[in-house]
Amino acid sequence: MTTAVVAVDVGGTTVKASVVDDRGSRRYHRTAPSAGGDDTVAVIRTLIDALRADALADGLDVLAAGVVTPGLVDAGTGRVAYASNLGWRDLDLRAALEGPLGLPVSVGHDVRAAGRAERHLGAARGAGDFVLLQLGTGIAAAVVTEGALVSGAGSAAGEAGHMPVYPGGEPCPCGKRGCLEAYASGAAIARRYRAAGGRDGATARGVAGLLGRDPIADQVWDEAVTALALGVSTLTMVLDPALVVLGGGLALAGDALLRPVERALPELLVWRAAPRIRLSTLGTTGGEWGAAIEAFGLTASARCVEAWSRPVAPAV
């Protein structure tokens, strides 16, 4: 019987879940709105149950589930100390899922899991020292050194969106000023474009679509990319990564994001070479792929181990 896991990526607005089989194929996909607090835990359980039923009907044996979330997540204990978007505080997420489901469940951090996925299946395949910058509504990083993910003393490493790139600069929704995220996140690009007199209702994706045709879009995008390059230069000085992967929704802008970052770096680094910069190949599914890898890690099946160490072209 083919074995599989259910992989769940819990976001502030949507919970995304898939069945991934031991050949590394994504077989079923379901989403549901996050409900907040305990209700989100119930949503996760319901999604896993539904996908397990989908899988079973297709002759797949689900061995484990992997769940990744934002916030302060301790993968060792399966607890989430704090996740502001989800209204969780000191939640034993693993226990809340394993008992009712009767299934082993791994609990991980969404962006670190995405970093794991980039290393196993994506743009950082085989890289020992790299950084994934996940550029979505907010910005966070997965830092990998000699093949190991950096979690930090309190599971809070990777808050690259809140590096102070312009001290005393624009207010960030986090309460600080001048954070990278205040210039270069999807939310910031949309907000700054509107504040500069741009069209109503434009999203970051919309702004990217207006480049070369709308001077306000050009300027806001340029400022975002400049802030991003500054952040990359700081990460380069401190960590000396071989590679920086740009992921998340903003990376769907492709070369419009990649090329100006590449162009800005030599001037910022002066006396050292820039790391390679690549776009994520996993798009916005990195968290789910990472959750699948972590769930396979709970199983003892050699086929499963094979599934996540083999190069797989994921169905993004």
Kindly list the residues in this chain that would bind its own copies in the complex (CB under 8 A).
128-130, 141, 143, 145-146, 148, 150-160, 162-167, 174-176, 230, 233-235, 237-243, 268-272, 275
Nearer to its own copies, 52 or 119 (CB): 119
CB of 207 to its own copies, least distance (A): 22
CB of 231 to its own copies, least distance (A): 9
Cα separation, 51 vs 46, in Å, equals 9
Nearer to its own copies, 202 or 227 (CB): 227
Cα separation, 312 vs 308, in Å, equals 8
**Burial class of 311 by CB neighbour count within 10 A (0 to 12, 13 to 18, 19+):** exposed
CB of 150 to its own copies, least distance (A): 5
CB of 248 to its own copies, least distance (A): 17
Nearer to its own copies, 146 or 255 (CB): 146
Residue among 248, 286, 295 at smallest CA distance from 51: 295
Residue among 282, 191, 184, 192 at smallest CA distance from 234: 184
DSSP assignment of 132-197: EEEESSSEEEEEEETTEE---TTS-TT-GGGSBSSTT-SBPTTS-BSBTHHHHSHHHHHHHHHHTT
Nearer to its own copies, 125 or 199 (CB): 125
Nearer to its own copies, 122 or 198 (CB): 122
CB of 129 to its own copies, least distance (A): 4
CB of 261 to its own copies, least distance (A): 15
Nearer to its own copies, 54 or 262 (CB): 262
CB 92 within 8 A of CB 102: no
CB of 99 to its own copies, least distance (A): 30
Q: Residues 97-103: contacts with CB within 8 Å, 24+ apart?
A: 97/41, 97/44, 97/45, 97/48, 97/65, 97/67, 100/45, 101/45, 101/48, 101/49, 101/65, 103/48, 103/52, 103/62, 103/63, 103/64, 103/65
Nearer to its own copies, 129 or 218 (CB): 129
